[in-house]
């Protein structure tokens, strides 16, 4: 499944790791280009998961129209293919209004799927996934990854052994279809003429970013993340598997359910968020369509927007 070429070419993208300043920069960029913002965040889709996802505030959403936020309830599942269909329709509607679609967020899988298309594989088999997870607990830490290497070495090469969710998905696709996931995915970039020209990602220094992440987690706790998590746990319908695994929520679920101490859970959120940011860097670096915008952390959002727009003008003037 792919975006229609004429829709894709009309889109702008601002990606980057968590806590690097995408929100305010995206708002200013949208104002400059006459845009509307589409969330590029897999967890902002969920209603009620606001603090832990750093979702755009009501004031920010009133400032610039936002889309693909609060789309589903926390007990529902939502596939990448569903996201692509909804995102393309949103883009069409935005273009009809004479506006510019601007994707802002940090979910690398969503970005790659928009840029290159996605394989619509079999639906999740939760019993199979549960069985694989249980088997993994009784073996060495890399057992699942070793098993994937046997049936799909190309996917195993791309996936870190600790990326349990994607390792299990690759094994699931092989078991359900009999074909390696690597043979079915469309991972190659489109021809240059078909690629969108405005795909930027903010590339901050690691130490600065890690400090920002720690500060953001502390702020989330102060704003009531634990209370938000308790509300999700007390909902009438149980959380979906995907929602329950959300970074920042999973760790606090464990604390509130008595499995770990709250302070230890908060430190775990910080550690895992830093690890996640490192994986985000890898996603964006490996997408040749993405143009890194190196930052020091001292720039204002307006300065970042000016740099992005200047880079765009220079690229356009260099075209034959």
How is the chain split into domains, by residue range? 5-118+189-218+273-318, 126-184
DSSP assignment, residue 197?
S
Per-residue pLDDT tens for 274-297? 999 999 999 999 999 999 999 999
State residue 210's pLDDT score: 98
State residue 98's pLDDT score: 98
State residue 314's pLDDT score: 85
Q: Which long-range contacts (CB under 8 A, 24 or more apart) does 8-11 make?
A: 8/114, 8/115, 8/190, 8/194, 8/195, 8/196, 9/194, 9/195, 9/196, 9/197, 10/91, 10/95, 10/100, 10/101, 10/196, 11/91, 11/100, 11/101, 11/102, 11/103, 11/114, 11/196, 11/198
Query: For the domain with range 5-118+189-218+273-318, which CATH number is right: 3.40.50.300, 3.90.330.10, 3.30.420.40, 3.40.50.150?
Result: 3.40.50.300
Residue 125 phi/psi, 5-degree rounding, is -105, 95
User: Can you tell me the distance from the alpha carbon of 224 to that of 127, in angstroms, rounded to the nearest whole number?
Assistant: 34
State residue 261's pLDDT score: 93
- Token pair of 221 as six digits: 């706790």
Q: Phi/psi zone of residue 48: left (φ > 0), alpha (ψ -120 to 50 degrees), beta?
A: left
pTM of the model: 0.83
DSSP SS3 for 12: strand
State residue 166's pLDDT score: 85
State residue 51's pLDDT score: 97
User: Can you tell me the distance from the alpha carbon of 110 to that of 127, in angstroms, rounded to the nearest whole number?
Assistant: 25
State residue 252's pLDDT score: 95
Segments in the chain below pLDDT 70: 120, 184-187, 318-320
State residue 188's pLDDT score: 80
CATH of domain 126-184: 1.10.20.140
């Amino acid at each position: 499944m792919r975006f229609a070429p004429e829709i894709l070419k009309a889109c702008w993208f601002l990606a980057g790791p968590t806590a690097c300043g995408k929100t305010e920069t995206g708002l200013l960029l949208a104002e400059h280009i006459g845009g509307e913002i589409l969330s590029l965040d897999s967890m902002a889709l969920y209603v009620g998961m606001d603090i832990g996802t750093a979702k755009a505030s009501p004031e920010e959403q009133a400032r610039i129209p936002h889309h693909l936020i609060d789309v589903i309830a926390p007990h529902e599942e939502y596939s990448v293919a569903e996201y692509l269909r909804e995102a393309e329709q949103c883009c069409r509607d935005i273009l009809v209004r004479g506006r510019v679609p601007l994707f802002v967020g940090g979910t690398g899988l969503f970005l790659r799927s928009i840029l290159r298309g996605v394989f619509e594989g079999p639906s999740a088999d939760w019993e199979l996934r549960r069985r694989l997870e249980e088997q993994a607990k009784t073996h060495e830490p890399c057992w699942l990854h070793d098993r994937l290497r046997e049936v799909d070495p190309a996917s195993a090469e791309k996936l870190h052994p600790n990326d349990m969710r994607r390792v299990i998905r690759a094994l699931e696709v092989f078991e359900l279809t009999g074909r390696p996931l690597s043979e079915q995915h469309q991972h190659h970039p489109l021809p240059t003429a078909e690629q969108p020209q405005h795909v930027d990602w903010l590339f901050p220094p690691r130490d600065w970013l890690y400090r920002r992440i720690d500060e953001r987690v502390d702020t989330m706790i102060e704003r009531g993340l634990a209370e938000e998590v308790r509300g999700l746990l007390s909902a009438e319908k149980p959380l979906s598997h995907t929602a329950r695994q959300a970074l920042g929520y999973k760790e606090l679920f464990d604390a509130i359910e008595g499995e770990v101490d709250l302070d230890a859970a908060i430190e775990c959120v910080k550690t895992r968020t830093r690890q996640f940011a490192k994986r985000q860097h890898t996603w964006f670096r490996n997408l040749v369509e993405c143009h890194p915008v190196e930052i020091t952390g001292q720039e204002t959002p307006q300065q970042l927007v000016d740099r992005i727009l200047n880079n765009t003008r220079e690229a356009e003037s260099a075209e034959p």
